[in-house]
Amino acid sequence: MLAACHPLPAAAVTLLAAALTAAVGRGLPGAAATVGAVAAGQLSVGWCNDRADLRRDLATGRRDKPLAAGTVPPAAVAGAAGLALALCVPLSLATGWAAGAVHLVAVAAAWAYNLKLKATAASWLPYAVAFGLLPAFVTLGLPGAPWPPPWLTAGAALLGAGAHFANVLPDIADDLATGIRGLPQRLGARRSAATAALLVLGSTAVLAVGPPGPVTAYGWGLLVSTAALAATALAAGRGAGGRLPFLAVMAVAGADAVLLVVRLRGTG
């Protein structure tokens, strides 16, 4: 069951939410509800994704997936997804009505990706919505329910869209063989690698130059390294099988996530 929930992405997003919550100085009860809601939402999304992909995973011989390997029954995964989603609702609303509503929209976007949008040209949209709303979920739980500045939301949304293109890269061939034609699959591996790099470059630029004041040394360094990544993705995407551009983009996405936390702290 743990392997079926996509534990690494779920843990990464939950840790990002925890870091953002700490950055704005939430008290322990509010922080616990915020992180708990994100964890429950991520578990529901991960289990939903594995259950929705079962037929395609069987067709492509994905023995690394617990459902396709037969090590866990489909009904158990579907039930766990529903239970986690049900738990996510009160935890989200415990952070405040506005914050809770924003988070539930983000989770609904992720479920929409799993159940429908993954195979359409709008496959990037749920990622942009879910990541873009994460800073708002954190700040709306503060006294006065403030929205984050628009540049912070835009930087997070670009980061999410870039993560989508990077995440799909290693599986494009299998996806196409089973009828999944999201935007990365339609563009192909080389153009998707370049798109992923440009999106995280855009995220870096927005987070580095968006706030008032001079760009920090970390921001300049990340801008230079992300620009180098874009060139690497363009050069390597043709024959790297998706793996090299995937690893490079995800590494810079992690650095962008750190910058996102720093910038959210600065808005306070």
Measured torsion, CA atoms of residues 127, 128, 130, 133, in degrees rounded to the nearest 10: 170
H or E element that contains 255: helix 243-267
Average pLDDT by stretches of 10, the chain with 268 residues: 92 91 88 96 97 92 89 96 98 96 98 96 97 94 92 92 89 89 92 86 87 79 79 60 61 75 69
pLDDT at 24: 87
Where, residue-wise, is CATH 1.20.120 in the chain?
149-268
The domain 149-268: what is its CATH number? 1.20.120
pLDDT at 244: 62
Give the separation between CA 23 and CA 268, rounded to whole angstroms.
8
Under a CB-based contact definition with an 8 Å cutoff, are residues 67 and 3 in contact? no
Give the separation between CA 118 and CA 3, rounded to whole angstroms.
21
